[in-house]
Amino acid sequence: MLTTRFADGAPNWIDIATPDIAGAGSFYGDLFGWRFRSAGPDAGGYGFFQLDGRTVAGGMQTDPGQGPPAWTVYFRTEDARATAEAAEQARGRVLRQPTDVMGQGRLAVLADRAGVTFGVWQPGLTKGVEAANEPGALCWVELYTPDIAAAAAFYHKVLGLETSAGPFPGGTYTCVNPSGADDAVFGGMVPLADAPAEAEAGAGPYWLPYFEVEDADAVADLAQRLGGTVRLPPTSVPGVGRMAKLADPYGVRFAVIRSESPQD
């Protein structure tokens, strides 16, 4: 389960690059109840999405030369530079060198062997998001990749992540957890070829964030009315919950889920 008790290797931040931060703020505000707050004049347009006063994500406006609109998932590290070096040694790439962020922490943006972008965050004053695994907050991350074995080896070497096979309707699911914490599964890995919703023209491998919601059907319907796209209609998965895969008006992919609780 994803929590704010961040372990090394677990997701601790997420942010969006979008061509229209005001439009994105309006979309996610209507969808999840978020409010966008600027990080100040020295932050280059970066700001925070907040839910009931707690930060749940970051975001900024970018132009086409800075890459396509997307959510980026960041994973906790004690040493951003060492993690960046490990990524290069594992045949990944460093897209943004480790950088101090106004005393709040240190970040680097990397790519795995398949070219999937992800970030690492070395906590300073900011430890990470302030809410997780509750309605309107990040609750799960999923890697769509052409080669699960290669991805598992890469993320184990770089972040210390461990994988295990879990039961799933029609087969098994590759679960991901921090090193030595098999009770702290926070995500999974899925073969890109086996995911119809991901097999869109030109779509490549990537990390997909899931946000918890109280009603996946209502959120999917609202997303469409707000100019977004339903990529996978609301679907119930026994033992998991009811989920939908969506895209915002700028093509940024994400998913929502109404998770099943033990009593369900």
* The predicted structure's pLDDT at residue 264: 42
- Could you tell me what percent of the chain has a pLDDT over 70? 96
pLDDT band at 202 (very low <50, low <70, confident <90, very high): low
Confirm or reject CATH 3.30.70.360 for domain 138-259, answering yes or no: no
The residue with greater pLDDT, 4 or 57, is: 57
Digit-coded pLDDT (tens) for 125-144:
999 999 999 999 999 999 99
Q: Where are the domains of the chain?
A: 11-123, 138-259
Longest dimension (CA), the chain: 51
* The predicted structure's pLDDT at residue 171: 78
Same-fold call for 11-123 versus 138-259:
yes
What topology does CATH give the domain 11-123? 2,3-Dihydroxybiphenyl 1,2-Dioxygenase; domain 1 (3.10.180)
CB 84 within 8 A of CB 94: yes
* The predicted structure's pLDDT at residue 43: 86
Digit-coded pLDDT (tens) for 155-185:
999 999 999 998 777 778 999 999 988 778 9
C-alpha–C-alpha distance, residues 212 and 140, integer Å:
8
The total of other beta-carbon atoms located within 10 Å of residue 93's CB is 14
pTM for the model: 0.95
The total of other beta-carbon atoms located within 10 Å of residue 260's CB is 14
- Cα Rg, the chain, nearest whole Å: 17
* The predicted structure's pLDDT at residue 193: 84
* The predicted structure's pLDDT at residue 40: 87
C-alpha–C-alpha distance, residues 156 and 11, integer Å:
14
The single-letter code of the amino acid at 15 is D
CB 234 within 8 A of CB 217: yes
